[in-house]
Structure 1
Amino acid sequence: MSDASLWLSILAIIVLLVMSGFFSGSETALTAASRARMLQLEKTGDRRATVVSRLIMVRERLIGALLLGNNLVNILASALATNVLLSLFGDAGVVYATLVMTALVLIFSEVLPKTWAISNPDGFAIAVSPVVRVVVIVFGPVVSAVEMIVRALLRLFGVDVSENRNVLSAHEELRGTVDLQHLEGGLVKAERDRIGGLLDLADLEVSDVMVHRTKMNTLNADEPVDRLIQDALASPHTRLPLWRGQTDNYIGVLHAKDLLRALAAAGGDASSIDIEQIVSPPWFVPDTTSLQDQLNAFLKRKAHFALVIDEYGEVMGLVTLEDILEEIVGEISDEHDVELAGVRPQPDGSIIVDGGVPIRDLNRAVDWRLPDDEATTIAGLVIHEARMIPEERQAFTFHGYRFTVLKREKNRVTRLKITPLSKEVAGSVKAVFAGHAAATAQAPAPTVQPG
């Protein structure tokens, strides 16, 4: 081989290695690029982002074209290197060509470009998208033929290769992305909980978030008007269910503002007020209604309050617009609410919790993962897992926690102590305890108003 041919072959090998690195880096960048970010760039008028989005939509053809190009240049570079080294070292050139090309391809055509691409996949994808688009068009027919052969072979082994098959739903993909961002520090716990709560609306029913009938604040329409007004003003709620005769015979919902208007119109004479004339008709919703549907119904009816009934028409509790919004934004506290009501973190990492505390609220408060598929409250979870009504001081261990019954009233478990068995989980409770202690210490002392 002449000197000119030798140098031309070496130059060709270098060019082919660069092309191989381009194909490898492009494959990594385009498969790791964020479709959501590309969509945002499209809205700003970035044409290359549009090209990237279209390439991602035909991911299988894109990868096939890049792999085809990568294999072509790698094989050609290896053939040229073998030819050059055979002319220099004879039969030993085959061994030298194998070692040299393996090292060059691994470093300069695989590891280096892929590491570069993964460090900034969106920018790399946008930069290479015009050239890759041409590659996909040129190699398209060959890739299509290869796809047909591959699909036919996979079907022989019973593998599902339908083109539009999605392993994860859109909600699951979003949930996974949110959890990953939280682990990597891109989202704080509160932000993760808000987005997760929004995604959970379609999976939850009103029975999961309703106020149980045993905790409902209601009014008896048979009582004197003076007493009703006193009870309404003493209640922390502005909407109160009104019943007559029996506690499950609800005749309407009394709004405190309507009551005040009627009292003002009557000149303060409570005896002249007809309560039934100022109440709004009750709205009953099935307990199996999803929170997403109920939220839409609240918005459509411009209502904030509904009574929840079971399949037999019995009132199970009530649900409000605030209950649903709290699933998204977390607990909404006002001057009448107690933060983390019923949940008392302990310095040792355990917590003392009322039996009626919802599992989801406890998980959100201390960042736990107790299952809420079979039960809504903590007491319900213990009874479900124990398959019995536990006695006081009885303890159970499941799901990585130790549950000790502290108090029981008749058949109701009213107070428990939950101790995490994992030190990491206990640490999250200690963090909550420390946060509350710091907030208490920094809170200003109450002032006494004269007179």
Structure 2
Amino acid sequence: MSAGALWAFVAEHWLSLVSVACLLLLSAFFSGAEAALTAASRTRMHMLESGGERRARIANRLIERRDRLVGTLLLGNNLVNILATSLATSLLIGLVGNLAVAIATFAMTVLLVVFAEVLPKSWAIASPDRFAVAVAPLVRPFVAVVGPVSALINALVRRLLSLFGVTLSADRPMLSAQEELREAVDLLHREGAVVKADRDRLGGVLDLGELEVSDIMVHRTAMRAVNAEEPPEVCVREILQSPFTRLPLWRGSADNIIGVVHSKDLLRALAEPDVQPETIDIVKIAQKPWFVPDTTNLKDQLNAFLRRKLHLAIVVDEYGQVQGLVTLEDILEEIVGDIADEHDLDIQGVRQEADGSIVVDGSVPIRDLNRALDWSLPDEEATTVAGLVIHESKSIPEERQAFTFYGKRFIVMKRVKNRITKLRIRAADDEGQVG
């Protein structure tokens, strides 16, 4: 085709060509608006709204119904893309004949990908907050008009998915605030902006509502308590030699907790005139025990500790049987990590070996191991490392028996009766032999 014929074609169809260009610009607007409004910082938007930015308030109202926003923008984007491609094809039919479909498909694909997808979305992602504030007033009327159509399509999609057994809740948010915070912290940690210790502390706060006291309690088998039927001087010596400030007091059986003895109360009683260790009544100075269900989540238990101004609670199951004890310090350690003082026992539950393997006591909590070594072993079905091995193996393993799961090789080093007391953990691809 000669240049003259081409110019004649342009002059004749200039309105259609301008329409295609406008549709490309409209497609770029929809793509950029979607990227910006979904990537915009909710915190930054609320700060701008609090500062009196009207457009930020509009953006926040749009983001609150993100499923409707995204559906509407996708619907508009697809409509203008199809219309632009159809219009370009009809124009090229008169210019190149039978090759029009192939040429229009190729040309519009390149134009749409470069100018209507990659370019606007890259621009929007580079400064999502500023872009979102700019486009929000223009997006709002479109969402108001087309939103009902998008809602109808979403309802149809849910209906179709329900035929295949997939149920989507209309009220379920795309991402909860807790998940958003956790993912943001993990991303900042991977990028180096947040150190591991800070990430663990923030994660510990977010996990409080998901953990129960049974996940962190001192189990009854490891719980130190005082027998009220022992001679008073024996009880006094045991309390004062203990590294713990508070000790449960039992009588008859370990399940019959009758009080909690505070070492300061004992010292005050011993300081009284004419009071000797042989004559002191331990039961009288003991505080009333506080029993809590083992299913209480840590967030509620922390609030209860603060409200009651207590530091120790006895954990019982649904039948009232003592399962262990939980302290305020145990919950705080879930947030800040181990809290050690000059009176803590020096117990090494995790030891690094020269060959790169890790020797772990079976009673070490999985969460503590994950936090110390930055691992991601699951703790939904088991609380301790030994419990995880038993759960995964569906048996009580023998000594020197080995299992591989979650990218780790677990070797049972020591077993006492039915309890796994020591394990060696190495990478699953480690070729080293069991020592």
TM-score of the pair, normalised by structure 1 = 0.79
Shift of 1:319: 0.9
Q: Give 3-state SS (helix, strand or coil) of 1:318's partner.
A: strand
Q: Take 2:409 and 2:138, find their aligned partners in 1: how far apart are those partners? A: 60
Would you say the 8 A contact 1:307–1:317 is kept in 2? yes
Q: Take 1:419 and 1:172, find their aligned partners in 2: how far apart are those partners? A: 31
Shift of 1:110: 1.9
Q: Give 3-state SS (helix, strand or coil) of 2:425's partner.
A: strand
Shift of 1:305: 0.5
Of the three residues 277, 285, 289, the one matched with 2:296 is 289
Q: Which residue number in structure 2 is paired with residue 136 of structure 1?
A: 143
Of the three residues 205, 210, 221, the one matched with 2:212 is 205
Amino acid at match of 1:53: N
Could you tell me which runs of 5 or more consecutive residues in structure 1 were left unpaired when the two chains were aligned: 427-451
Q: Which residue number in structure 1 is paired with residue 159 of structure 2?
A: 155
Identical pairs, percent: 60
Would you say the 8 A contact 2:404–2:428 is kept in 1? no
Q: Deviations over 1:253-304 (max 9, x none)?
A: 1111112222223377445543322210111222232223322322222211
Shift of 1:226: 3.7
Q: Take 1:206 and 1:301, find their aligned partners in 2: how far apart are those partners? A: 17
Would you say the 8 A contact 1:17–1:109 is kept in 2? yes
User: Which aligned runs of 4 or more in structure 1 are off by greater than 6 angstroms?
Assistant: 2-9, 82-87
Q: Which residue number in structure 1 is paired with residue 402 of structure 2?
A: 395
Shift of 1:201: 2.6
Q: Are 1:127 and 2:131 matched, yes or no? A: no
Would you say the 8 A contact 1:266–1:273 is kept in 2? no
Q: Give 3-state SS (helix, strand or coil) of 2:314's partner.
A: strand
Q: Deviations over 1:35-61 (max 9, x none)?
A: 344234333433322111111223344
Of the three residues 363, 366, 373, the one matched with 1:366 is 373
Q: Are 1:238 and 2:238 matched, yes or no? A: no
Amino acid at match of 1:237: F
Would you say the 8 A contact 1:359–1:372 is kept in 2? yes
Q: Give 3-state SS (helix, strand or coil) of 2:197's partner.
A: helix
Q: Which residue number in structure 2 is paired with residue 189 of structure 1?
A: 196
Shift of 1:233: 2.2
Shift of 1:167: 6.5
Shift of 1:72: 5.9
Amino acid at match of 1:23: F
Of the three residues 255, 274, 278, the one matched with 2:281 is 274
Q: Which residue number in structure 1 is paired with residue 331 of structure 2?
A: 324
Residues 269 and 59 from structure 1, CA distance in 2 versus in 1: closer, same or farther, beyond 3 angstroms?
Answer: closer
Of the three residues 55, 58, 62, the one matched with 2:62 is 55
Residues 241 and 30 from structure 1, CA distance in 2 versus in 1: closer, same or farther, beyond 3 angstroms?
Answer: same
Shift of 1:111: 1.5
Q: Take 1:113 and 1:7, find their aligned partners in 2: how far apart are those partners? A: 25
Shift of 1:335: 1.8
Amino acid at match of 1:366: L
Q: Give 3-state SS (helix, strand or coil) of 1:108's partner.
A: helix
Amino acid at match of 1:210: M
Of the three residues 108, 115, 121, the one matched with 1:108 is 115
Q: Are 1:300 and 2:307 matched, yes or no? A: yes
Amino acid at match of 2:159: R
Q: Take 1:161 and 1:355, find their aligned partners in 2: how far apart are those partners? A: 41
Would you say the 8 A contact 2:55–2:133 is kept in 1? yes
Residues 379 and 63 from structure 1, CA distance in 2 versus in 1: closer, same or farther, beyond 3 angstroms?
Answer: closer
Would you say the 8 A contact 1:382–1:403 is kept in 2? yes
Residues 375 and 91 from structure 1, CA distance in 2 versus in 1: closer, same or farther, beyond 3 angstroms?
Answer: closer
Shift of 1:359: 2.2
Residues 228 and 55 from structure 1, CA distance in 2 versus in 1: closer, same or farther, beyond 3 angstroms?
Answer: same
Would you say the 8 A contact 1:396–1:403 is kept in 2? yes
Q: Which residue number in structure 2 is paired with residue 263 of structure 1?
A: 270
Q: Take 1:161 and 1:358, find their aligned partners in 2: how far apart are those partners? A: 36
Amino acid at match of 1:377: T
Residues 338 and 47 from structure 1, CA distance in 2 versus in 1: closer, same or farther, beyond 3 angstroms?
Answer: farther
Q: Are 1:407 and 2:401 matched, yes or no? A: no
Q: Take 2:161 and 2:323, find their aligned partners in 1: how far apart are those partners? A: 52
Give the paired residue count. 420
Amino acid at match of 2:126: S
Would you say the 8 A contact 2:232–2:278 is kept in 1? yes
Residues 181 and 404 from structure 1, CA distance in 2 versus in 1: closer, same or farther, beyond 3 angstroms?
Answer: same
Q: Take 2:174 and 2:283, find their aligned partners in 1: how far apart are those partners? A: 55
Residues 149 and 270 from structure 1, CA distance in 2 versus in 1: closer, same or farther, beyond 3 angstroms?
Answer: closer
Q: Which residue number in structure 2 is paired with residue 419 of structure 1?
A: 426
Q: Take 2:393 and 2:147, find their aligned partners in 1: how far apart are those partners? A: 58
Residues 69 and 266 from structure 1, CA distance in 2 versus in 1: closer, same or farther, beyond 3 angstroms?
Answer: same
Amino acid at match of 1:252: G
Shift of 1:252: 1.2
Would you say the 8 A contact 1:349–1:419 is kept in 2? yes
Amino acid at match of 2:148: S
Shift of 1:365: 1.5
Q: Take 1:256 and 1:90, find their aligned partners in 2: how far apart are those partners? A: 96
Shift of 1:150: 5.9
Q: Give 3-state SS (helix, strand or coil) of 2:360's partner.
A: strand
Would you say the 8 A contact 2:233–2:278 is kept in 1? yes
Would you say the 8 A contact 1:266–1:272 is kept in 2? no
Would you say the 8 A contact 2:75–2:150 is kept in 1? no
Shift of 1:113: 0.7
Could you tell me which runs of 5 or more consecutive residues in structure 2 were left unpaired when the two chains were aligned: 1-7
Q: Which residue number in structure 2 is paired with residue 446 of structure 1?
A: none
Shift of 1:350: 1.0
Would you say the 8 A contact 2:189–2:195 is kept in 1? yes
